Structure 1
Amino acid sequence: MPSVRTPDPNPGWLSEFQLEETRSRVPILYVEAVPVRLDSLGQVEQVGLLLRGSTTGALARSFVSGRVLHGEPIRTALMRNLEKDLGPTAFPQLPADIVPFTVAEYFPLPGVTPMYDTRQHAVALAYVVAVTGECDPRQDALELSWLTPEEALSPAILEELEGGRGVLLKQALAHLGALG
């Protein structure tokens, strides 16, 4: 007689062991979002950068980021990760068109592309998402800093962005016409 099992409430999640094994064999799909605050004309006033502990234990700046789960639509993954990192009252405004402003490829070794992730080969669909509510960073994010585009593009801030994400920030701001 076959055994009856309780369905997994999160069938898209992998155990830590399974995730490490998968990361060593195939690229992992992520979504990344650069949160922004816009003025009444839709121009970027501020860019939100998260402060987190990096994989080396140092503090680093980053964007909203997370895996796309098996069977999960991109739009759902984007909203889930925005809420996970920014809190439930951030009120992100997902774009009507779900086409990313770029596709970022991260390799485990620096130098193959400008972006790298020492844990894995990853591909990220990158979005700019307007945020209208109050942000309360959650999970592994320590804080969210709102910077003007000029401040965000300063050499000191670009250097703090982990994994070469300074390139991604420049692409996001260029996509929005917000480069000075």
Structure 2
Amino acid sequence: MNVRTPDPYSGWLSEEDLFEARGRLPMVYVEAVPVRLDPLGFVNEVGTLLQGEPDGSMVRSFVSGRVLYRETIRAALLRHMEKDLGPLAFPQLPISPVPFTVAEYFPAPSQTGFTDDRQHAVSLVYVVPVTGECDPRQDALELTWMTPQEILSDDVQREFTGGRGTLARQALAFAGVGF
């Protein structure tokens, strides 16, 4: 019988192992489009994260991150919502772990329209209502709440990276916001 002490960080890969894994297999991610709802449950604001790129440019994105080994989708969603929006965001996680769409990111342009220079990633994407106070953390410089009309404007759509403007449009359509 082989008895070992459990690794407290068994879901994490070293930078070297992560680089190696990204070159050999798709990574599983979750993404969340944070929204605020009116009293009838209609989307009246969408939250985007403003982030700086290594070249100094500014881009918009959504909450996202990897699913760790032995981590449930719901746990990954909650962890990334808290990591990116702060512990007082109070996200209302979906009852079911079924995403509204699956985004397939490739390191080079492809038929999906989604790109991630680092890897091939499969992302389960959710619309998640947020009821609390948000304080962006990690790589985000700020969280900006916009109306559906603002987020669909050409200027804001150009600020998204990797095809996430398409995710914004898909999320609003999924939530029943029509234009």
User: Normalized against structure 1, the TM-score is what?
Assistant: 0.94
| Deviation, structure 1 residue 57 | 4.2
Counterpart of 1:24? 23
Q: Residues of 2 paired with 1:146 and 1:50: CA distance?
A: 9
Q: 1:12 to 1:151 in 2, by over 3 A?
A: same
Would the alpha carbon gap of residues 54 and 71 (structure 1) be closer, same or farther in structure 2, given more than 3 Å must change? same
Query: Could you say what secondary structure the match of 2:49 adopts?
Result: strand
RMSD over aligned Cα, in angstroms? 1.5
Judge conservation of contact 1:149–1:179 (CA < 8 Å) in 2. no
Partner SS state of residue 93, structure 1: coil
Aligned-residue offset at 1:38: 0.1
Shift of 1:177: 1.0
- Cα deviation for residue 8 of structure 1 reads 2.6
Aligned to 2:172: 173
Q: Among all aligned residue pairs of Structure 1 and Structure 2, give the percentage whose two residues are the same amino acid.
A: 65
Give 1:59 deviation, angstroms. Answer: 1.3
1:138 aligned partner:
137
Cα distance in 2, alignment partners of residues 12 and 152 from structure 1:
35
Task: State the alpha-carbon separation in 2 of the partners of residues 56 and 98 from structure 1.
Answer: 36
Aligned-partner SS, 1:174: helix
Superposed, which structure 2 residues align to 1:93-172 within 5 Å? 93-172=92-171
Q: Which residue in the other structure is 2:14 paired with?
A: 15
Which residue in 2 is equivalent to 1:41? 40
Shift of the 118–56 alpha-carbon distance from structure 1 to 2, 3 Å rule, reads farther
Structure 2, gaps ≥5 residues long: none
List gaps (5 residues or longer) in structure 1: none
Aligned equivalents of 2:152, 2:173: Cα separation in 1? 11
State the secondary structure of the residue aligned to 1:163: coil
1:58 Cα deviation from its structure 2 partner = 2.0
Give CA deviations for 1:65-111 in whole Å, capped at 9, x if unaligned: 00000000000000000000000000000011221000000000023
